[in-house]
Amino acid sequence: MKNLLTIEELTDKEILRLLDSAELLKRQRGRDGKPLEGQTWAMIFTKSSTRTRVSFEVGIRELGGSPMFLSKNDIQLGRGEPIIDTARVLGRMVHGAVIRTYAQQDIVDFAEYSGIPTINALTDDEHPCQILADLLTIREKLGRWEGKKIAWVGDGFSNMTISWMWAAKKLGFDFAVACPPDYAPTAGFLQKLNAPNISVTPDAAEAVEGAHVINTDVWLSMGQEDHPEKEAAFGPYQVNAELLEVAAPGHIVLHCLPAYRGKEITEEVLEAHAGNIFQQAENRLHAQKAVLAALASVARG
């Protein structure tokens, strides 16, 4: 692995190795090695964040490296410099890059032109770091995903859903998506995915029935807040107590946060599953440390 750009590009063995490493790093926190010692990693964020920024800054430091946070206003990207030129400059100065932005192609181009390990910390197309943290949480809480059903309720073609569908394709668990028809995965994407273990339905209860994990996210992703007509379509896709009545016994609810209580999830359900949800948030740190550690030798050259 030279970069982490998408879940799509990972093999099942790479995903499992990263999760094994994350579990070990979590157990050994404070006693782990310093694979990033002497390295400086740029964190280029054109989208704001809480969990992503904090978890990467702490993770880089705990592994012995130095994080350098760069918002779009700190560098010439904010004034229109092409990403490939920024990549060529930073590739000669830092050892790796963590990028949180809009266009997936920007991250792809940065990795190509910089020549340094590049981590996708979120784009409009995928959110691989979050899915690794979620898988780690499921393994901790349920022991395994084999023979389990994971449901997604909300936007059927968001960065989270796309990454989840690729994870299901790679790892083989049943994954059911409930979403409004206008926000379903495209036929072309599903054909490319070619995964019979993934289903899509407009019926939230059908997706959640017998599910061991129920996942959701905000209805309006960052940058889409000015589309109230989209939010109106998601009324029947709230994760609430009534919907969860059809889930499997002992189910867990996950939310990648931030959550808008009373919209995609009720206050009651979020608080009932807060232990899982905030463990999920913590696991961003451990999953990302595993990715950083895996790329440390590449960064060192």
> DSSP label at 186?
P
Catalytic residue check, 100: yes
User: Which one of the listed residues 39, 130, 238, 280 is annotated catalytic?
Assistant: 130
User: Which one of the listed residues 95, 212, 217, 286 is annotated catalytic?
Assistant: 217
Q: How far is CA 296 from the centre of its chain?
A: 21
What is the C-alpha separation between 172 and 227, in angstroms, rounded?
Answer: 35
Residue 222 counted as an annotated binding residue: yes
What is the C-alpha separation between 75 and 85, in angstroms, rounded?
Answer: 12
Residue 128 counted as an annotated binding residue: yes
Compute the radius of gyration of the chain from its Cα atoms: 19
User: Which one of the listed residues 127, 251, 273, 286 is annotated catalytic?
Assistant: 127
Torsion angle in degrees (nearest 10) through CA of 26, 12, 291, 177: -80
Residue 68 counted as an annotated binding residue: no
Residue 50 counted as an annotated binding residue: yes
Residue 66 counted as an annotated binding residue: no
**Contact indicator for 46, 102 with CB cutoff of 8 Å:** yes
Strands of the sheet containing 198-201, edge to edge, are 198-201, 174-178, 149-153, 213-216, 252-255
Residue 90 counted as an annotated binding residue: no
Catalytic residue check, 191: no
Catalytic residue check, 127: yes
Residue 51 counted as an annotated binding residue: yes
Structure tokens at 194: 């070619």
User: Which one of the listed residues 53, 155, 256, 288 is annotated catalytic?
Assistant: 256
Catalytic residue check, 124: no
Residue 118 counted as an annotated binding residue: no
Which residue stretches of 176-239 are H helix?
Answer: 187-193, 204-208, 228-232
What is the C-alpha separation between 271 and 260, in angstroms, rounded?
Answer: 13
Residue 179 counted as an annotated binding residue: no
What is the C-alpha separation between 230 and 246, in angstroms, rounded?
Answer: 26
What is the C-alpha separation between 103 and 92, in angstroms, rounded?
Answer: 23
Residue 159 counted as an annotated binding residue: yes
The structure tokens 């499992």 sit at: 16
Structure tokens at 192: 């490319």
What is the C-alpha separation between 83 and 79, in angstroms, rounded?
Answer: 11
User: Which one of the listed residues 212, 251, 284, 286 is annotated catalytic?
Assistant: 284
User: Which one of the listed residues 95, 100, 212, 251 is annotated catalytic?
Assistant: 100
- In single-letter form, the type of residue at position 210 comes to G
- Per DSSP, what are the bridge partners of residue 201? 178
**Contact indicator for 87, 68 with CB cutoff of 8 Å:** no
Annotated binding site: 49-52, 76, 100, 127-130, 159, 217, 221-222, 256-257, 284
Active site residues: 100, 127, 130, 217, 256, 284
Annotated binding site for L-ornithine: 159, 217, 221-222
Annotated binding site for carbamoyl phosphate: 49-52, 76, 100, 127-130, 256-257, 284
